[in-house]
Amino acid sequence: MSILVMKFGGTSVANLDRIHRAAKRVAREVARGHEVIVIVSAMAGETNKLVGWVQETAPLYDAREYDAVTSSGENVTAGLMALRLQEMGIPARSWQGWQVPVQTTSAHGHARIEAIPTDNILRKFREGMKVAVVAGFQGISPEGRITTLGRGGSDTTAVAFAAAFDAVRCDIYTDVDGVYTTDPRICEKARKLDRIAFEEMLELASLGAKVLQTRSVELAMRYKVKLRVLSSLAEEEHEGTLVCDEEDIMESKAVAGIAFSRDEAKLTLTSVADRPGIAAAIFGPLAEAGVNVDMIVQNISEDGRTDMTFSCPTDQVLRARKAIEESRARGDYSFADLVEDQGVAKVSVVGIGMRSHAGVAAQMFRALAAENINIKVITTSEIKISVLIDRKYMELAVQALHDAFGLDRAA
């Protein structure tokens, strides 16, 4: 039995016409001899509408009922896709998360998949079913309640199914025809990549690229799932971008892509005591408050005091400020001032080739200096260099770095 997983995002199933077009793609794979598991998102805009209704009805909503409401969009799409396939003469059946069952944790709104038993769907395949259309984004808790996996969770659903069923491949259909060196809307020279390593895709996803959800790439890397990103809107079939092991890429440039995050904030605590445990005292309460701290820089001074700078998303600044002020009120630590800068953006260069190419940082800094762009914070890892800059220079920085590393040209 050769199982293929195909995932269609919200724009790919935005209306009945697009569901019909997606069903034709599924039919082609059935004709090639595959049993197909189709993972569907809600129609474009549907989840936002459902979330809005929940918030309007109960601002301090019960997370279990939030999941009951917001998961319904995928149920509609799954049923419509199964009906369309049946009308085309293909034995298909829709499956909600609890019917598979997709077993998750009890963390409503951001549950994690723990197991996907294969018996039910495999039995139906043996009985003649050719396509299982599964509602993405949802599962069932140990208590028997519907759960959701967080925004973008259908990507994670698809990869998890590919791993559980040992699928030959997992195809992710979106509104773009692959993974690009950067956002084509920012840089017209952006080039579609034929292949990209799991690690590179994971960094790009975590740094702001919206093509794939970070958790889906983590799963694909862990279980060695062949992952392909394609467009459902293209009239003709194409190869898209294959996300794969580093060993499957013949030769890598030093930099594979440029990622950016527009809505970043920089916070600095000035004149903090320079002593063991001060970092834990600062960042522990921030973590408990759900603040996603990213870049961290500490300046050492001679008088036993230091400045601590970190970045976080702009929509978490209020939460961060509250946690910091509460920590100071408890006497956890003291500081002279909290300086906020909500006008910054993060720009990152990513590439597994950095491991074997020297001078990437110097080349990056020269390119930014040539455009008179000041760097506020720098962080590095083995395959990534990120900088914080003034937000007004973000697009210029992306274009300058794309040119500097020759990303418009293949390796």
Residues making up the annotated binding site are: 7-10, 47, 74, 174-175, 180, 185, 210-211
Give first-to-last CA distance, the chain, whole Å: 37
Among 34, 143, 165, smallest CA distance to 95 is for: 165
Residues in binding site for substrate: 47, 74
Name every residue whose Cβ is closer than 8 Å to that of residue 228 and which is 6 or more positions away in sequence. 169, 170, 171, 172, 239, 240, 241, 242, 243
Q: How far is Cα 72 from Cα 69, in angstroms, rounded to an integer?
A: 6
β-strands 296-300, 384-390 pairing: unpaired
Q: How far is Cα 296 from Cα 312, in angstroms, rounded to an integer?
A: 10
Q: How far is Cα 69 from Cα 253, in angstroms, rounded to an integer?
A: 46
Residues in binding site for ATP: 7-10, 174-175, 180, 185, 210-211
Among 228, 127, 120, 195, smallest CA distance to 164 is for: 120
Q: How far is Cα 134 from Cα 7, in angstroms, rounded to an integer?
A: 9
Name every residue whose Cβ is closer than 8 Å to that of residue 291 and which is 6 or more positions away in sequence. 312, 316, 319, 320, 323
- Which token pair is 251? 């030769």
User: How many other CB atoms are there within 10 angstroms of residue 239's CB atom?
Assistant: 12
Q: How far is Cα 118 from Cα 50, in angstroms, rounded to an integer?
A: 30
Cβ neighbourhood burial of 296 (10 Å; 0-12, 13-18, 19+): middle
Is the four-CA dihedral 43, 46, 51, 57 of positive or negative sign? negative
**Total residue length of the chain:** 411
3-state secondary structure of 217: helix
Q: How far is Cα 34 from Cα 30, in angstroms, rounded to an integer?
A: 5
- Which token pair is 182? 């950067």
* 213 in Cβ contact with 152 (< 8 Å): yes
